[in-house]
């Protein structure tokens, strides 16, 4: 067994690396030093190492900046995954590619399932959806039927990278009043929980008695939906309980229209996780429990 962890220096990549290390699984970690938009370099590296599994955590995630850097976002989020899929197919490796709730337009009023129609709204969202399609196309044209997984997630936060929870904690320590959007709903996800699910989906969890899951698209997010405003209120409450030096006294609920951004956001991007729950034999823990765990780990 040999695992290639792509995007290892990012927030999610660090969590996956920690999970693989905990399981004593051998892996090679690369980040920007190996440019996944370079097809030849990706192919040469894969051929030289003959990996059995490729986990792609690399992504261009600057959602608003992508509106003015669409070419760069597309190269990283679409062309890069395609190159990895081609290389994985050539050497017979399983590939897991992480995607996003932004592939949906947010007009639904019930949780999105894996086979629901996608309609990405902005440059970042379109680049991620194109990446999905290119990876899935590689699977469809692979006569060997290699294992290929698209793992969508939402509202990701964790150690080792900028995220909503860290930003809120900083602002709550600096300001007495904050304003947070209340008309966007989703499912927050802790990187450690997503990393565990990804490794299990590939059948790499040493404690698992089942093989890798069938190829296809899966959703994973911590259980329970919320709004950004409700999420912020929980961060304030749980942070205070843990002794964070927070001075915030009020968090005003505002509409998306009151906080205009360059890139559109889906108003409702709650992901249904029934499919992955059936495969893994367990449901994700509630987002409140995951948030408490994260705060316990990063308490100042």
Catalytic sites, residue numbers: 124
First to last CA, the chain: 39
- Helix (H) / strand (E) containing 136: helix 123-140
Environment class of 272 (CB within 10 Å of its CB; exposed 0-12, middle 13-18, buried 19+): middle
* Structure tokens belonging to residue 21: 């290390």
* Structure tokens belonging to residue 300: 């100042």
Q: Which residues contact 67 (CB under 8 A, 6 or more apart)?
A: 122, 123, 124, 262, 263
Q: What whole-number distance in Å separates Cα of residue 174 and Cα of residue 91?
A: 52
- Contact between residue 99 and residue 154 where contact means Cβ atoms under 8 Å apart: no
Residue 204 phi, psi (nearest 5)? -95, -10
- Contact between residue 202 and residue 55 where contact means Cβ atoms under 8 Å apart: yes
- Contact between residue 17 and residue 27 where contact means Cβ atoms under 8 Å apart: yes
Residue 185 phi, psi (nearest 5)? -125, 140
3-class SS shares of the chain: helix, strand, coil, % to 5: 40, 15, 40
Residue 29 phi, psi (nearest 5)? -110, 125
- Contact between residue 153 and residue 220 where contact means Cβ atoms under 8 Å apart: yes
Classify strands 27-30 and 189-190 as parallel, antiparallel or unpaired: unpaired
């Amino acid at each position: 067994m040999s695992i290639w962890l792509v995007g290892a220096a990012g927030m999610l990549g660090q969590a996956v690396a920690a999970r693989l290390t905990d399981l004593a699984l051998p892996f090679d970690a690369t980040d920007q030093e190996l440019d996944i938009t370079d097809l030849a370099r990706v192919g040469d590296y894969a051929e030289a190492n003959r990996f059995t599994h490729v986990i792609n955590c690399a992504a261009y995630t600057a959602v608003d900046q992508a509106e003015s850097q669409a070419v760069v976002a597309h190269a990283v989020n679409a062309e890069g995954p395609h190159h990895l899929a081609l290389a994985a197919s050539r050497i017979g490796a399983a590939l897991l590619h992480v995607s996003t709730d932004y592939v949906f337009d947010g007009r639904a009023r019930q949780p999105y399932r894996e086979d629901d129609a996608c309609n990405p709204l902005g440059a970042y969202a379109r680049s991620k959806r194109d990446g999905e399609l290119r990876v899935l196309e590689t699977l469809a044209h692979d006569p060997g039927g290699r294992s290929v997984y698209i793992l969508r997630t939402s509202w990701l936060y964790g150690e080792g990278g900028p995220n909503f929870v860290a930003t809120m904690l900083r602002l709550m320590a600096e300001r007495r009043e904050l304003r947070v959007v209340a008309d966007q709903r989703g499912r927050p996800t802790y990187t450690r929980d997503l990393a565990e699910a990804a490794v299990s989906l590939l059948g790499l969890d040493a404690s698992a008695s089942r093989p890798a899951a069938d190829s296809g698209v899966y959703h994973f997010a911590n259980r329970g939906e919320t709004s950004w405003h409700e999420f912020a209120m929980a961060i304030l409450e749980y942070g205070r309980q843990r002794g964070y030096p927070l001075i915030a006294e009020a968090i005003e609920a505002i509409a998306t229209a009151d906080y205009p951004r360059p890139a559109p956001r889906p108003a409702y991007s709650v992901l249904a996780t029934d499919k992955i729950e059936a495969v893994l034999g367990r449901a994700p823990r509630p987002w409140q429990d995951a948030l408490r765990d994260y705060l316990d780990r990063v308490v100042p």
